[in-house]
Structure 1
Amino acid sequence: MPAPSPLTIATQSVQRLVKEEKSYRKELTQQSERVKKLETQIKDAGEGADDNAAYVLKQEQKAMDETRAIFVPLGERIAQAVQRLEEQIATAESESGPADEIQKAKEALELGKAVEEPPVV
């Protein structure tokens, strides 16, 4: 099996990073829901809230902050991968590369450019 072309490698890189970013967004949403649920439980318990619930809430908030911190460097990596992919597409088009690879690369490029700003959950 021949080695993948630079265009294929760049395409797969963007696809992987976009998938990773989507996974972190999902994780952040789940963590946010858990934090809200814990806050509600503690509020409802009032004076009778145990110390463990407060500790668990603090840990969940810490995990949520850590997940949120991932988005800035991940966004930078996606931007770099998109730039490399644009260069590879230009090279492939000038060299009349395989049309199917170029099409897949353009689709991945759109996905990479569509990545939103870091969430503010």
Structure 2
Amino acid sequence: MASRPLKIKTGVVERLIKEEDSYKNEYDNQLKRIEKIKQETPDDEWNIRKQKEVLDETVKMIPDVKQRLSKAVEELNDLVSAHEEELAGTEELSQSSTSLVTGSLSKDRS
């Protein structure tokens, strides 16, 4: 009975893990882009300022996605705990457990 909600919550955790990684990659790429612009065209203040604004937006999103990931991991953990016996040995439980471990590790690292 809990198979469908378990799949949904697992999917949410997996998506948020990917989203967090995406923002971190975007942050790194944006830093490199700003440095490149500063080296190639140091007088282009407008472009540098706009790129810094993009970087600031990315920085603002990282704590938000971490908070959503933390909440999703807690909800998935609660659901798994409530239906563990019922779902024992199923692929859904195995995938959810893997996502819980990955999500917990992801929310713990900075």
Q: TM-score, normalised by structure 1?
A: 0.80
Match of 1:46 in 2: none
Identity %: 26
Letter in 2 for 1:37: K
The SS at the match of 1:70 is helix
Q: Following TM superposition, by how much is the alpha carbon of 1:38 offset from its aligned partner in structure 2, in angstroms? A: 1.4
| One of 89, 100, 104 as aligned partner of 1:113 | 104
What is the distance in 1 between the residues matched to 2:28 and 2:101?
24
Q: Following TM superposition, by how much is the alpha carbon of 1:6 offset from its aligned partner in structure 2, in angstroms? A: 1.2
The SS at the match of 2:84 is helix
What is the distance in 2 between the residues matched to 1:55 and 1:38?
11
Letter in 1 for 2:18: K
Q: Following TM superposition, by how much is the alpha carbon of 1:22 offset from its aligned partner in structure 2, in angstroms? A: 1.0
**CA RMSD after TM alignment:** 1.8
Q: Where do 4+ consecutive residues of structure 1 move more than 6 Å?
A: none
What is the distance in 2 between the residues matched to 1:92 and 1:30?
42
Q: Following TM superposition, by how much is the alpha carbon of 1:92 offset from its aligned partner in structure 2, in angstroms? A: 2.1
Structure 1 position 62 matched with structure 2 position 61: no
Q: Aligned residue pairs: how many?
A: 107
Q: Following TM superposition, by how much is the alpha carbon of 1:41 offset from its aligned partner in structure 2, in angstroms? A: 2.4
Q: TM-score, normalised by structure 2?
A: 0.87
Match of 2:21 in 1: 22
Match of 2:5 in 1: 6
Higher-Rg structure is 1
